[in-house]
Structure 1
Amino acid sequence: MTALADDLRRLIPAERVVTDPGVVSAYARDQALWAPYGTAAALVRAGSAEDVRALVEFCAARGVPIVPRGAGTGLSGGANALDGCVLLSLERMDRIVEIDPAERLAVVQPGVVNDDLRAACAGHGLWYPPDPASSPWSTIGGNVATDAGGVCCVKYGVTRDYVLAVEAVVGRGEAVRLGRRTAKGVVGYDLCGLMVGSEGTLGVITEITVRLRGARPPERTVVGGFDGLRAAGEAVSAVTAAGIVPSALELIDRYCLEAVDRWKNMGLSADAEVLLLGRTDTPGETGEAEAEAMAACFKDAGATWSARSTDQAEADALFAARRLAYPALERLGQVLTEDVCVPRALVPEMLARIQRAARAHDTHIANIAHAGDGNLHPLIITRPGDGAARDRAHRAFDQIIDDALALGGTVTGEHGVGLLKRRGLHAELDPAVVALHHAVKNALDPAGIFNPGKVFGDPAA
């Protein structure tokens, strides 16, 4: 390991190569507490695309694995270290290179924090929509790697819908530009799109060009309280059937809301077992009608109460609680996070199956969801050190994956496959399709060094 680091320091500024075990171990895993991780040989904190290119060329020649990472906010183990790998942190490549108001695009390095980009765009009267719950900390590079979504994706789409171009280092150290800056373009295969959601397995992204929208209109908020998950799911289906496209439609149960309130003392009150938080940003009278129609859908589906929020601070606090649910639950125990997505009409059935999984495996499952697009995040909670509970939680996790697939869904809507969802991936994709993916990886990663074992690795490993 010492010899490897010494060689790296001859290629990359010495201060960017770290071998201190305490520092390296701090970068060895993401937020998926249940995913395994190994011991890296070194950490490289890249400061430029040339650092990345030199590292890839070096590692490809020696067969040394590279595990790229951003802020480490992932929830599937995709950024976890492998024994003997080089951890490549891109957090210091954090410059907003350009914001072009005329073309409505921004060019950023991968270490730019999501909320920082959004704030910079707002200064130009523009908006970058993808907004994962981790947006105050997660980086654009990490968002691209997992094709992150967020609260507003029900109406505005996910990260993939906004990536126009990337610069990346692939193969044995080749720096390439994929994509375009123009509004349209169909030259060649969509290799840029291929990089989005690839979880660092095809190369290392060093720059990203994203499309922007005009400033967002004000939103109207509708809140509904329900006695159970199934009734809340019926309300989601009713909103979809009514042809309403909300700018947000989020679900949070009482357990999550109370956990946030105990942590942050926000003065929140559920007055229901499950809340649906709906928003519309359609301007004018049409937006007013949408808000009223959403409230009616809630009521007709069995809401114990539903109301238009007239207190903006209260409405914002509820959505803030939705974003804070995961870290709040982590304070109460170990959390195994699901990320399944099903057709919206089947959200009620999937929520009912999650409840059945909790009962069948005697484990507590809290629930948050991007309910408007069928992306559910059951949160399986266990006490630290309780091995039997941990085993039951894993079985519940697998059952939820199987139930989502049985309903025509997918094993991950936005968190990525990483290590935790490899079994689910192989259950979802036909072997011939998996072979196509392997062929693509072999073409872009002939040395097999980019995040090996992740996504398409052996689920039994």
Structure 2
Amino acid sequence: MRANLLGDLAEVLPPEGLITDADVLEAHRRDQATWTSAGVPHVLARPSSTSEVQGVLRVASAHRVPVVARGAGSGLSGGANALDGCIVLSLTRMNRILEIDRRGLFAVVQPGVINAALKTAVAEQGLWYAPDPASWEFSTIGGNLATNAGGLCCVKYGVTGDAALGLEVVLAAGSVLRTGGRTVKNVAGYDLTRLFVGSEGTLGVITEATLRLRPRPPPATTLVASFPTLVGAGAAVTEIMASTRPSLLELMDRATVRAVEAIRPMGLDMDAAALLLARSDAGGEQGVAECARMAAACEASGATFVAQSADEAEGELLLGARRFAYPALEKQGTTLLDDVGVPLSRIADLLSAVERIAEQRGVLIGTFGHAGDGNMHPTLVFDRNDPEAVARAQAAFEDILVVVGELGGTITGEHGVGVLKRAYLSRQLGSEATRVHLAIKASLDPLGILNPGKML
């Protein structure tokens, strides 16, 4: 069967699009969630067009072989992890920006386009592509769509799905489906675009996307505030979001700040319980007024230090501390990065609970994330070679997800379910919603070949 599989794939792909080298396959086994399980693929398929993707899926359907689509492999939930004997479908060769419509404010791109490349291309025309996941410099648009990736700017401009106007998707049997269009408003029929965004390659393979662009915003003013208590920081977040629309509102707890300072000293307050970073890109008098309201909210919530800067370089330096949060924690040991969301009013409760869990389980946990929309990233740090440390980390991870449920939150805000949180999804969805999910999956992928073992 496997010999026939390779032969059939060779008929729909050029030689450079079909790879069986063991070292290359090893490099395509998993994403960045090294904690999750991954199998050994049989072959790596690298199509360069929609028609070649169609060919691969038709062959896979005929042989009933699983297909795992992937982009840059920057995911953090194991969503792109291979299965034994599967076809890994790499979309990195489909990396063309097909169209930029300056007047229509949209771009049409293939899934292998790097987020940063799209930002650069549209910036040359005075435009801006808003979604900015932490991996924006190397992650692909296809991967961003597959997980409905968020980022620092999503508090004001939304996540990747909010920028998706329409998609081209190859279904499991090889047919092509087009969803949405080029208009901002479109309520003709079911919202199939939203269905495929965030589906992690389990319902179809995205081969083209029409994405919303925006005029480039004015230079931003950046605010930083230190808090002696987590409750105070949480109160400031709630008040800021109730009174203004920051373009960014990020939080780092004490453990994270200390990790950053240890690697990249910036003079941050290492004794603060939490550090808030906020931005306004409204420009002019409106931007000044927004920053003043945010500063007042921080002071009223007990901030011990509040400073603002309209200097772009200084603002980027402060933002760099936040972007460096995860790499800094990685320097301290093996990391298990969580991705949870809670209502804005419960952020302080989540932070306090994580601090308590860290103490009870004897695990270092640094928490940072997008406070403006309640999406936080408790990051567990431990020694992977110590079985007891591993067990404590796993228990703490479970504890956090239980608390998130009690707070009315979600097990994932932007990284996806993948393998990492598959066991917890049905708990959040409930039995009826889980049944509907399975029914949709069965309808679009009756043979179950698309990224099996992920999400559901």
Q: What TM-score do you get using the length of structure 2 for normalisation? A: 0.96
Quote how far apart the aligned CAs of 1:454 are: 0.3
Secondary structure of 1:308's aligned partner: strand
Give the letter aligned to residue 270 of structure 1: D
Give the letter aligned to residue 174 of structure 2: G
Quote how far apart the aligned CAs of 1:88 are: 0.7
Q: Do 1:113 and 1:137's aligned partners in 2 also have CA atoms closer than 8 Å?
A: yes
Quote how far apart the aligned CAs of 1:328 are: 3.0
Secondary structure of 2:161's aligned partner: helix
Residue correspondence of structure 1 range 31-430 to structure 2 within 5 A: 31-241=32-242, 243-260=243-260, 262-263=262-263, 265=264, 267-273=266-272, 274-430=274-430
Quote how far apart the aligned CAs of 1:53 are: 0.5
Secondary structure of 1:235's aligned partner: helix
Could you tell me which runs of 5 or more consecutive residues in structure 1 were left unpaired when the two chains were aligned. 457-461
Secondary structure of 2:132's aligned partner: coil
Q: What TM-score do you get using the length of structure 1 for normalisation? A: 0.95
Q: Do 1:172 and 1:447's aligned partners in 2 also have CA atoms closer than 8 Å?
A: no
Counterpart CA distance in 2 for 1:58 and 1:413 is: 35
Q: Do 1:46 and 1:89's aligned partners in 2 also have CA atoms closer than 8 Å?
A: yes
Counterpart CA distance in 2 for 1:197 and 1:107 is: 19
Give the letter aligned to residue 435 of structure 1: R
Alignment size in residue pairs? 454
Quote how far apart the aligned CAs of 1:6 are: 3.4
Give the letter aligned to residue 256 of structure 1: T
Deviations 1:75-109 (A, max 9, x none): 10000011111111111111000000111000000
Q: Do 1:226 and 1:272's aligned partners in 2 also have CA atoms closer than 8 Å?
A: no
> Which range moves more in the overlay, 321-330 or 406-415?
321-330
> Which range moves more in the overlay, 99-108 or 331-340?
331-340
Give the letter aligned to residue 37 of structure 2: P
Secondary structure of 2:369's aligned partner: strand
Q: Do 1:258 and 1:268's aligned partners in 2 also have CA atoms closer than 8 Å?
A: no
Partner of 1:459: none
- Residues 312, 33 of structure 1: CA spacing in aligned structure 2 closer, same or farther, 3 A cutoff? same
Counterpart CA distance in 2 for 1:323 and 1:6 is: 46
Give the letter aligned to residue 355 of structure 2: Q
> Which range moves more in the overlay, 80-89 or 250-259?
250-259
Quote how far apart the aligned CAs of 1:134 are: 0.5
Q: Do 1:95 and 1:108's aligned partners in 2 also have CA atoms closer than 8 Å?
A: yes
Counterpart CA distance in 2 for 1:236 and 1:215 is: 26
Secondary structure of 1:10's aligned partner: helix
Quote how far apart the aligned CAs of 1:186 are: 2.0
Q: Do 1:342 and 1:407's aligned partners in 2 also have CA atoms closer than 8 Å?
A: yes
Counterpart CA distance in 2 for 1:271 and 1:357 is: 21
Q: Do 1:71 and 1:91's aligned partners in 2 also have CA atoms closer than 8 Å?
A: yes
Q: Do 1:5 and 1:19's aligned partners in 2 also have CA atoms closer than 8 Å?
A: no
C-alpha RMSD over aligned residues: 1.5
Give the letter aligned to residue 195 of structure 2: L
Counterpart CA distance in 2 for 1:331 and 1:250 is: 21
